[in-house]
Amino acid sequence: MGPDALLDLRGRIDAHLPALKLTDLNLETEIVIQYQQAKALLGRVIASDTVPTNQKAQVANSCTAILDQLSKMQIRLYSSERFKAIEQVLIKALRTLPTATQEQFFVDYERLHAEET
C-alpha cells in the first residue's frame, strides 16, 4: 500500500476507535499525520486538471499552516525541555545552600507558580 492508502486506512480505523483523553493524545504525531494527509491531497489536486486553481492554493496554504504549527511545536518543546534542565541544575545548586535559604526559595517559587496559574 502507498502512503495515501495507508493514511486513508488509518483515518477509517481511528474513526472507529473510542474517544481518547487529551493526555493520551500525541499532538506531535497527529499534526505530522495531518501534514502528511494535506501533502498527499496537495499532490492529487496539483495533478488534477479539474480542480480549480483557487482550491489548489487553499490546499497549499493548509500545508504551509500545518508546517507553521509543527515549527511552533518544536520551539515550545525545545523551550520546555531546556527549562526542565535549568530547573534541575538550579535544584542541585540550591542543595549546596543553607536550609533556610532553600526553604525560602521554594516558598517564593511556589507562590510565583500559584500566581501564574
Q: Record the pTM.
A: 0.54
Q: What's the confidence (pLDDT) of residue 104?
A: 92
Distances (CA, A) of 77 to 29, 69, 83: 13, 12, 10
CA 6 centroid distance within chain: 22
pLDDT tens for the chain, 117 residues long, are: 888 899 899 989 988 887 667 676 777 888 888 889 889 989 999 999 999 999 999 999 998 998 898 888 888 888 888 999 998 999 899 999 999 999 999 899 899 988 876
Distances (CA, A) of 75 to 25, 27, 30, 116: 19, 14, 17, 21
